[in-house]
Amino acid sequence: MSIRALASELYRAQQKVHKLQDQLEVAGINKKDQIRRELKQAEVECNQLRRIIEAEKEPSPLRDSFKRHY
């Protein structure tokens, strides 16, 4: 997946986190647990996407070695 597509996915995930945070602030007691679970999952997804993007941005020494030999 390209960095641009990953960045779009990250943006959507961040928007979901912000939306859930806003919902959590105004939610009733009985809905807060459900929203917290959804928020935790959304935060995990954001963190995974951030790590993937950072890994894609870092140059790999193996990529350079293949370019030199071929």
Tell me which residue of 20, 13, 10, 17 sits closest to 50, measured CA to CA.
Answer: 10
Distance CA 21, CA 13 (A): 12
Both tokens of 5, joined, read: 């597509």
Both tokens of 1, joined, read: 């997946």
Taking only the tens of pLDDT, the chain with its 70 residues reads 788 999 999 999 999 999 999 999 999 999 999 999 999 999 999 999 999 999 988 776 665 555 555 4
Q: Is 0.95 topped by the overall pTM?
A: no
Q: What are the domain boundaries of the chain?
A: 3-69
